[in-house]
Structure 1
Amino acid sequence: MVKNQVDVGVSWRTLDSFEVEINGRMVERYLSHSCMHCAEPQCASVCPTKAYTKREDGLVIQDHDKCVGCGYCIYACPYQAPKMNPYTKKVEKCTGCYDLIDAGEQPMCVRGCPVQVLKIEDIDKLDAEGAVKEAIGFQAFATNPSMRFVKMKQ
């Protein structure tokens, strides 16, 4: 299934790399992320056309037709989730595959994750089970991102 076919040069995911020390040696680690669907989305608060809405389930959705390409949301987002499309001159971001979520299915990033570490779960359940908001390579800002980290099982 092909979904969210974005233009060449546009990616809705960001890959950060960093080094950590494990057993006395430096090891490179990676963190792939997209829109954090924040509880307090700064992209929505700065958008002059009100192109962003937050759904009851927490997804932050952008109405592409309302976007005028000012880029305020790009600069406001601490996670660099909104991206300027150089062809349309409008901003785009992860949709959370809300249509799949509405149909009871998993989003494409979860389906396509080669190491199966991405999941969409109830955030309150994750918090109750000990998931954390920050990890090496990721800082939770005041936007209150909906991303959680679960310790790997040994």
Structure 2
Amino acid sequence: MARMKFICDSERCIECNSCATACKNENEVPWGVNRRRVVTINDGVIGQEKTISVACMHCSDAPCMAVCPVDCFYKTDEGVVLHNKDACIGCGYCSYACPFGAPQFPSSGTFGLRGKMDKCTFCAGGPEENGSKAEFEKYGRNRLSEGKLPACAEMCSTKALLAGDGDVVADIFRTRVIHRGKGSEVWGWGTAYGQPPQQQSKAPEGKKS
């Protein structure tokens, strides 16, 4: 059984925010909630600036599940961590426990009151029937049941954000690290603009390699 995971390649991310925009558009995320956001580390420091796309990482041992007093979190067969909004009481424990800041609470009513928790679902919906109106209204579109990957990863212009089977995603990232170039070649400038690959040097005539 596949274990769904996200990986963001900081060498490819160009801070275009297409992943965050695609997520909000696909799932009609409530105003004030960002299931996915782009974070820049060492902003403005030449040579040290890195940008990554962050959301729920669907942890194998999710701390949000461990601290929830009403057990509104559950894990699918694919390893996706989902939650039941009908069971959520808005206590906020999950937001304190999550190191990625994934669980968020839209403001509701009087100052200080929390609404139902909302977070990235890996575009896998919720406990309602797959593709139902109730599921979409609470959790967004269930792309996984349609055989598709999350909208954020599919919309990434430089393919910095990878999503899918954790083993496959890890192999793709490992291959990039081994073969990637430097500078513009990190995200394939030569491939995009048809620059010919460097030719291997041939052994001089009369000599056997």
| Same-fold call, TM cutoff 0.5 | yes
* 3-state DSSP of counterpart to 1:16: strand
Confirm or deny that 1:13 pairs with 2:36: yes
Which one has more relative contact order, counting CA pairs under 8 Å at least 6 apart? 2
Confirm or deny that 1:91 pairs with 2:117: yes
* 3-state DSSP of counterpart to 2:105: strand
Q: Deviations over 1:68-103 (max 9, x none)?
A: 100000001111111111136121100110121121
Q: Is the 8 A contact 1:13 1:32 kept in 2?
A: yes
How far did 1:36 drift?
A: 0.2
Distance 2:36 2:70 in 1: 24
Confirm or deny that 1:46 pairs with 2:67: yes
Distance 1:121 1:83 in 2: 24
How far did 1:64 drift?
A: 1.1
Structure showing the higher strand proportion among its residues: 1
Distance 1:130 1:113 in 2: 15
TM-score in terms of structure 2 length: 0.57
Q: Indicate the residue corresponding to 2:58 in structure 1.
A: 37
TM-score in terms of structure 1 length: 0.75
- Unaligned 5+ runs, structure 1: 133-149
- Unaligned 5+ runs, structure 2: 1-21, 109-113, 125-141, 182-209
* 3-state DSSP of counterpart to 2:120: coil
Confirm or deny that 1:71 pairs with 2:124: no
Distance 1:101 1:71 in 2: 27
Q: Which has the larger radius of gyration?
A: 2
* 3-state DSSP of counterpart to 2:38: strand
Q: Is the 8 A contact 1:83 1:93 kept in 2?
A: yes
* Number of residue equivalences: 134
Q: Is the 8 A contact 2:163 2:169 kept in 1?
A: no
State the percentage of identical aligned residues: 32
Distance 1:130 1:5 in 2: 30
